[in-house]
Homo-oligomer: A and B are copies of this chain.
Amino acid sequence: MTATSRIASEQMLFIDGVSGKLGGFLADQRDMMATVSPDVEPLIGSISNLVTGGKRLRALMCYWGWRGAGGVADDEDIVTAGCALELFQAAALIHDDIIDRSDTRRGGPSVHKRFSQLHELNGWALDSGRFGDAAAILTGDLCLSFSEESFTEIGPRAASGSTARRIFNVMRAEVMAGQYLDILEEVAGPVRDRAGSVDRAKSIIRYKSAKYSMEHPLALGGALAGAPADLLEAYSEFSLPLGEAFQLRDDVLGVFGDPETTGKPAGDDLREGKRTVLVGFAINQAVAAEADYVDRILGNPDLGPDDVASIRSIIVQCGALDATESLIADLSNKAFEALERLPLQEVPLMALRQLAEAAVSRAS
């Protein structure tokens, strides 16, 4: 078997394992919940729907971190860790969608929207939107608990005091901190100093995205396999810049992406008022009147196609897009250089290279 087909077959086996285990875990939870009341089913149904499919990016980073540190291919513990990461991500998405008022997720209604639709369909009383938000807050909480329950099932390798447990704890706290910095910048950004906006945006993507989606999952897999500290450090030198490049690409797509490919309406990030690195460059590099215009119009939910086109044009003309692309290139180079220094065997090394290439070159 070539290394490439070995990677593909290992990944398929692992992803099937994660999907199967998630299915079994949620079936058990559904049974438990049914003893409470059949009315509770939509909570489990929403979680189940959300963890079906998806790119399983974090689970895969975790898997190759494990394999790179000498973990064997068909071990139950790494599958369980993958489930815990997927459940955590589902919980984060449920609450994120409430916070961002996103009514769609992966082409279907988001969880709060599902519940408000359930409300309308049944002709229930009072406000459907409020009910949807409340139900989704509770569903996200339940999913967060499931994630933890699943992580604990790993047993001794993830017990109190272990490196893996520490990483899991830090991962959770940091991503919540990063999300707070993100919503804070949306409201505080317009009245804070413009000169600091790029650094603040960089801090947001580091904690909200790069550490959460790349650095911590990779380290977690490594730690579960007993990786020494210097390997975990070498992992970070690769995964942190990779995660930053990944998120910067996401930010560019959020403004310039093709709705057909990204699945999100054009300019959605602008309407939500996301103050990304791209936007930070723009308000610092554009002429004053244009910078003021961008500053003022960000977060306006009624932003029309003309405004989106104007902002795009400002971002291009002032060099903000070039500056961001150059940052992406630098970070990618840094990540790939660190990747080549990793003391890994051929298969995990090549697998991480594939994941990294997909991350920085994607169009959706």
Contacts and interface: CB of A to CB of B under 8 A. Distances in A.
A176 B126 contact: no
Given A137-B137, A154-B160, A173 B126 contact: no
A107 B188 CA distance: 28
A149 B148 CA distance: 9
A155 B145 contact: no
A49 interface: no
- Taking the full assembly, how many copies of this chain does it contain? 2
Contacts of A183: 131, 134-135, 138
A154 B165 CA distance: 13
Given A135-B183, A173-B33, A155 B160 contact: yes
A36 B191 CA distance: 21
A319 interface: no
A361 interface: no
A177 interface: yes
Given A137-B95, A170-B32, A177 B43 contact: yes
A174 B29 CA distance: 11
Interface of A: 29, 32-33, 36-37, 39-40, 43, 91, 95, 98-99, 119, 122-126, 131, 133-135, 137-142, 144-146, 148-149, 152-156, 159-161, 165, 169-170, 172-174, 176-181, 183-184, 186-191, 203, 207, 273, 299
